[in-house]
């Protein structure tokens, strides 16, 4: 089943399987980073709905570079504020196959400081 997959895709699938096992029905904070931007979503998998989202493409963050830690911190704050406003306090962090380092870690730390628990 995993024949021909890249190492990144194998890591992503392994991470997602572990999240389902220990998630306990909580929404997940999914992170995607590209070379120029970073995106975050709080997803309720049971209902198949996105509860909150933020990215470096939004109006207030677009002026800054999207490929640095400061922008990732701002996105983390914004997605956490939107999630808390929607009534979500506890999430499972889905790093999406990316290493928990640099921009991904900065986004996670900012989301924790803004009120999300994971």
- What are the pLDDT digits (tens) for 51-104? 999 999 998 888 877 889 999 999 999 999 999 999 999 999 999 889 999 999
Segment 26-53, tens digit of pLDDT? 999 999 999 999 999 999 988 999 999 9
Question: How many residues are recorded in the chain?
Answer: 118
Q: Which residues pair with 52 in a beta bridge?
A: 42
Asked if residue 22 has pLDDT above 80, the reply is: no
What residues contact residue 15 under an 8 Å CB cut-off, 6+ apart? Answer: 94, 95, 96, 97
Residue 20, pLDDT score: 78
Check if the beta carbon of residue 75 is closer than 8 Å to that of residue 40: yes
Count of CB atoms situated within 10 Å of the CB of 114? 17
Count of CB atoms situated within 10 Å of the CB of 57? 13
Least confident residue range of 8-12, 17-21, 32-36, 76-80: 17-21
Count of CB atoms situated within 10 Å of the CB of 99? 9
Residue spans of the domains in the chain: they are: 7-113
What is the spatial distance between Cα 97 and Cα 2, in angstroms, rounded to a whole number? 15
Provide CATH code, domain 7-113. Answer: 3.30.420.100
């Amino acid at each position: 089943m995993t024949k021909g997959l890249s190492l990144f895709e194998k890591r992503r699938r392994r991470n997602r399987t572990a999240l389902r096992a220990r998630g306990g029905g909580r929404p997940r904070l999914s992170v995607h980073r590209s070379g120029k931007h970073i995106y975050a979503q709080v997803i309720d998998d049971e209902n198949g709905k996105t509860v909150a989202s933020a990215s470096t493409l939004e109006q207030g963050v677009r002026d800054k570079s999207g490929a640095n830690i400061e922008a990732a911190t701002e996105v983390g704050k914004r997605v956490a504020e939107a999630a808390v406003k929607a009534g979500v306090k506890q999430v499972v962090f889905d790093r999406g196959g990316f290493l928990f380092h640099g921009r991904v870690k900065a986004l996670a730390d900012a989301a924790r400081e803004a009120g999300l628990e994971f």
